[in-house]
């Protein structure tokens, strides 16, 4: 289905990217939510409190050049202008667009990423690998996996998490882990990284999925459901 307003999509995307870059590494407040289990100890969920944090950072985000660009594009979109006027409450038209559309959109995006984390780097690395020759192709694929599931654990953690996420049986996981650790990544490993990208996109929260996979490795909970296996 074609985009109705490609220019608006791009300006909103650029605003989110700029906001994530501005807040990367920021100390987002969080809460621990307890989930009781039938047997064994309770499980605790790490939940970043995104909405309040975004509201506090609104003045800084409002000054971003990409925020101004997005607001200008929204002003030229009749539906957005009508929506913002209904939520104006004494604000300027620009501030109404920012607070009624841009901030909620950013909050929604960050909540589904589990914080100010973005998978564009992983996607970019994967796309670059499609046009590269060895040894650069393997390097780009490995970097894509690290950006996707590595976090502070790097390539080692990314390979372990991917093996648990994609392998149905112990042997499948061992084979995949070995393939992902090869110096030159073959078709099997490259296809696994592609599948991992799809899994993370469909799960929504990359950090949340990584934490679940770590708990699976520790035997604390079952492996998360796979959207590819369900499909």
What pLDDT is recorded for position 132? 80
Nearest alpha carbon to residue 214 among 35, 77, 44:
44
**How far is Cα 26 from Cα 115, in angstroms, rounded to an integer?**
10
Render each residue's pLDDT in the chain as its tens digit; 231 residues.
444 666 787 888 888 878 877 776 667 777 766 767 777 666 666 667 888 889 988 999 999 999 999 999 998 888 888 888 887 777 888 889 999 999 998 888 777 666 776 666 677 777 778 778 888 888 888 888 888 888 777 888 889 999 999 988 899 999 999 999 898 998 899 988 888 888 887 776 777 788 889 888 888 888 887 766 544
What pLDDT is recorded for position 228? 62
What pLDDT is recorded for position 65? 92
Query: What DSSP designation does 225 have?
Result: P
Count Cβ neighbours within 10 Å for each residue of 195-228 and write b for 16 or more, e otherwise: bbbebbeebebbebbbbbbbebeeeeeebbebee
CB 103 within 8 A of CB 55: yes
What pLDDT is recorded for position 154? 80
What pLDDT is recorded for position 26? 67
| Cα 106 → chain centroid | 12
What pLDDT is recorded for position 1? 40
From residue 180, give the alpha-carbon distance in Å to each of 128, 157, 171, 173. 18, 11, 14, 10
What pLDDT is recorded for position 230? 46
What pLDDT is recorded for position 117? 62
pTM flag (> 0.95): no
Evaluated on CA atoms 198, 202, 204, 205, the torsion sign reads negative
From residue 91, give the alpha-carbon distance in Å to each of 46, 79, 99. 35, 18, 9
What pLDDT is recorded for position 135? 83
What pLDDT is recorded for position 59? 92
**How far is Cα 50 from Cα 19, in angstroms, rounded to an integer?**
13
């Amino acid at each position: 289905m074609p985009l109705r307003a490609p220019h608006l999509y791009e300006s909103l995307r650029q605003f989110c990217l700029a906001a994530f870059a501005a807040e990367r590494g920021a100390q987002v407040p969080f809460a621990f939510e307890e989930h009781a289990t039938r047997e064994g100890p309770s499980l605790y969920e790490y939940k970043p409190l995104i909405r309040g944090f975004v509201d506090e950072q609104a003045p800084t985000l409002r000054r971003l050049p990409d925020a101004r660009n997005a607001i200008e594009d929204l002003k030229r979109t009749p539906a957005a202008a009508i929506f913002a006027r209904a939520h104006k409450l004494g604000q300027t038209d620009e501030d109404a667009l920012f607070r009624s559309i841009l901030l909620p959109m950013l909050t929604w995006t960050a909540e589904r990423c589990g914080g100010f984390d973005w998978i564009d780097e992983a996607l970019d690395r994967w796309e670059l690998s499609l046009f590269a020759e060895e040894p650069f192709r393997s390097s780009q694929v490995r970097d894509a996996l690290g950006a996707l599931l590595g976090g502070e654990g790097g390539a080692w953690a990314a390979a372990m998490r991917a093996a648990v996420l994609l392998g149905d049986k112990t042997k499948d996981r061992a084979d995949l882990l070995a393939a992902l650790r090869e110096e030159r990544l073959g078709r099997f490993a490259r296809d696994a990284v592609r599948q991992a990208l799809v899994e993370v996109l469909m799960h929504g929260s990359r950090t949340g999925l990584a934490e679940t996979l770590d708990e699976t490795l520790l035997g604390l909970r079952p492996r998360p459901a796979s959207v590819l296996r369900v499909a």
